[in-house]
Structure 1
Amino acid sequence: MKPELSIQLMDTHAGGDVSRIVTGGIDLLPGDTVRAQMEYLRDDADGLRRLLLEEPYGIPEMSVDLLVPATDPRAAAGYIIMEVMGYPIYSGSNTICTATAVLESGIVEKREGRQHFMLESPAGLVNIEATVRDGVVEAITCEGLPSYIDTYKASIHVPDLGEVTYSVAYSGGFYALVDARELGFQLNMDEEQALSRTAYAIVEAIQAERGFSHYTLGDVGPLPFLHFMGPVEHVADGYYRSRSATYVHPGVICRSTTGTGTSARLALMNYEGSIRPGDRLETISLRETGFIGEFTSVEQAGDYQVVKNSITGKGYVIARSDIVVNCDDPMVECGSLHHILSSRHRHNLSTPGNADVLPSGND
């Protein structure tokens, strides 16, 4: 008999963006850092990402986060982010969901009130603050990546749209930032498909005209993302709100406003001198969900003002399941997957037997 191959999942969402947290069924990956393990998945085992984001198991709008043992002893767990466009080194919504999952699965013991621990992403260590009330994870605050403005108010001709004004921020990926009203959008649900088509046209035009290079990372690939910005409302002293929508892939407008999109907005507001350290921006999605970004500090790095920030949101557990991987199924391609599927045992990171693999990160 063939051994049954299965993958253990905890499905979560933050702001409407579904993140499938892989908690077991995958062998330990080679690599002495989480970044190196991500690169191994990307180059030698991309079948896991495609399996869980494509039919019959998933859809492109989802994300996948593979829990792995942290390589830094200060972190409670590591995680590798997989999305339809590839392997981003960081994501706010995925981090909120992963932090929620490690608490709900017992990798980190929940404590009433506020508690702190670290996760290890491909971008490095991430500080997490969790708020727990009556045993429920009510909020997760995570560090956003240092963000900055690369390009301010450039102009590009886009077929069928004409001249479009855009800025470019880096916040874990390069983002084109455009004014939604200038393009005729109010950022409502009935505009979702039109937003996707418009964003695709703008991103394609920018990619064809120019590339972008991070001041320390160098070439991180072509600009993939676009963020539609609604008007900024001054709600209270140091508190702002804005409708927003983030495009990440042809046909895909994120359900949430995204953490990295919110970080990009903070970088732009700092560049324009409209916020100060300590100020917060709440971004509101087409589905009326929101994240809160806080501008914590700014530092000069060469020619760039680099904004440090944090993102706060709430993650929800929506399912726990085992995916049965049938390599005889003509819709399942196991060629770049079978060598990391665990058929000898269930390597479930949340079970007590693996407590030595993922020690508690409570402080």
Structure 2
Amino acid sequence: MKIKRSFDAIEVHAGLPMRVVTSGIPTIPGNSVYEQALWLEENDDQLRKLMLREPRGYPPICCNLIVPAKHPDAAAGYIIMEQVEYPMMSGGNTISVATALLESGMIPMQEPVTEFALEAPAGLIPITADCEDGKVTQVYFDNVASYAVHIDAEVEVPTLGKVKVDIAWGGMYYCIIDSTQFDWLELVPEQGKEIARISALCTQAAKEQLDVPEHPDYPGIGITVAEMHGPTDNPDADGKSVNTMFTGEINLNDESTWIGALDRCACGTGTSAMMAVKYAKGELTVGDKWRNEGLIGIIFEGKVTDTSKVGEMDAVHLKVGGQAWIYGFTKYILDETDPFSEGYRVGDIW
């Protein structure tokens, strides 16, 4: 066997699998993790495709590449990779990366609390981790400023008619959809295909019909994720939401593209986007907490800590917390003779 590339990874999940790659990539140019992520996307996208596509990946999986931090206050950097993009920020991935680095010993663990910072493409992310008996029991991170740009905007959606959506930034731009507009829908795993279908339709309609301002620090990023929300019967949560991560382009004239992979966790940036909308609607204020239940019962908690501006937009600062679990340590290789040097996708699940 002749090995062309080799990667070591810590397999982590917070409901959703969020692989953490710790070796196998040469030095990446750039003066920040943001610049490194842009370089990787343009010059070595093979890693992302290998880790997320079959046979090493599948639609609902994310991947993070650990890199040396460029910010002097960060203990490590991480580049976030998903099926169709390199996100600036991801809460579930941040929680998973912090857990992997602490429990593997790559960052020294201090019990009962370890404090440090990571550098995401979005910049410096302060971390507070509760630790007990060598296990990370909860990770809190200070997210980037979050804000809403559209509240109760009406879009015309094929097969659904007029639907109201909110658009908000929580580290990614979300199309946020109230599930109670669809009386046949429940946010449960059994209705996963219908959640994905409606989310895909509404998101693409919002992309085509609504103007979304560029983030002043991260140009060129539009709406990439859907978040459907509704009530919960869980006494430990205040609401429920399900994100849909798309695996390709959505065409409103092609029903076969009305698909996506549902986030199995409660999603940190999605929680932040939801809380930014709630703040804009007057449902939350500084000091308030909101507990978000995900599709399979995972709960993330957010707290509004402050307000600021992002350009001309009113923004909130949020501390978000959740837990992740390591489930394996893996070495991945690319054989020189493997005909699928970037992995592959097949239409039965993609």
TM-score between the two structures when normalised by the length of structure 1: 0.86
Q: Report the aligned-residue RMSD.
A: 2.0
1:279-312 deviation line (CA, Å, top 9, x unaligned) = 1111111211111111111234564220100110
Amino acid corresponding to residue 220 of structure 2 in structure 1: V
Give the 3-state SS of the residue equivalent to 2:286 in structure 1: coil
Amino acid at match of 2:222: P
Matches of 1:131 and 1:22 in 2, distance apart?
A: 23
Matched, 1:255 2:239: no
Moved more, 56-65 or 122-131: 56-65
Matches within 5 A, 1:239-318: 241-249=238-246, 250-301=259-310, 303-318=312-327
Tell me the SS of whatever aligns to 1:214: coil
Whether the aligned pair in 2 keeps the contact of 1:56 and 1:331 (CA below 8 Å) is: no
The residue that corresponds to 2:228 in the other structure is 228
2:59 aligns with: 60
Q: Deviations for 1:196-230, whole angstroms, at most 9, x for unmatched residues?
A: 00111111112222341235236433311111111
Once residues 124 and 200 of structure 1 are traced to their aligned partners in structure 2, the CA distance between those partners, rounded to angstroms, is: 29
Which structure has more RCO (C-alpha within 8 Å, separation ≥ 6)?
Answer: 1
CA distance in 1 between counterparts of 2:234 and 2:12 reads 32
1:203 aligns with 2:203: yes
* Percentage of matched positions with identical amino acids: 32
Shift of 1:45: 0.3
**Cα contact 2:3–2:336 (8 A) shared by 1:** no
Question: In the alignment, is the contact (CA less than 8 A) between 1:19 and 1:97 conserved in 2?
Answer: yes
Which residue pairs with 1:354 in the alignment?
none
1:160-197: CA deviation from partner (whole Å, max 9, x where unpaired): 00100111111112111111111232211111110000
- The 8 Å contact of residues 76 and 107 in structure 1, kept in 2 or not, is answered as no
Counterpart residue type for residue 318 of structure 2: N
Where do 5+ consecutive residues of structure 1 fail to align? 335-363
Q: Structure 2: which 5+ residue stretches go unaligned? A: 247-258, 344-350
> Given that residues 2 and 335 in structure 2 are in contact (C-alpha distance below 8 angstroms), is that contact kept between their aligned partners in structure 1?
no
Aligned CA distance change for structure 1 residues 303 and 3 (closer, same or farther; 3 Å): closer
**One-letter amino acid of the counterpart of residue 188, structure 1:** V
Q: Give CA deviations for 1:108-142 in whole Å, capped at 9, x if unaligned.
A: 11111112001011111100001001221101001
Change (3 A) 1:301 1:97: closer
Q: Which moved more, 1:92-101 or 1:281-290?
A: 281-290
Task: Name the counterpart of 1:130.
Answer: 129
Which residue does 1:339 correspond to in 2?
none
Match of 1:13 in 2: 13
- Counterpart position of 1:74: 73
Deviations 1:257-276 (A, max 9, x none): 21111001111111111222
Q: Distance in 1 between matches of 2:341 and 2:214?
A: 37
Write the letter of the residue equivalent to 1:132.
C
Which amino acid in 1 is paired with 2:323? Answer: K
Counterpart of 1:348? none
Cross-structure match for 2:330: 321
Larger Rg computed on CA atoms: 1
Letter matched to residue 82 of structure 2: E
| Matched residue SS, 2:162 | strand
Is 1:186–2:195 an aligned residue pair?
no
The equivalent of 1:38 in structure 2 is 37
Q: Aligned residue pairs: how many? A: 330
Q: Separation in 2 of the partners of 1:259 and 1:205? A: 24
- 1:287 alignment partner, SS class: coil
SS for the counterpart of 2:201 is helix
TM-score (norm 2): 0.89
SS at match of 2:143: strand
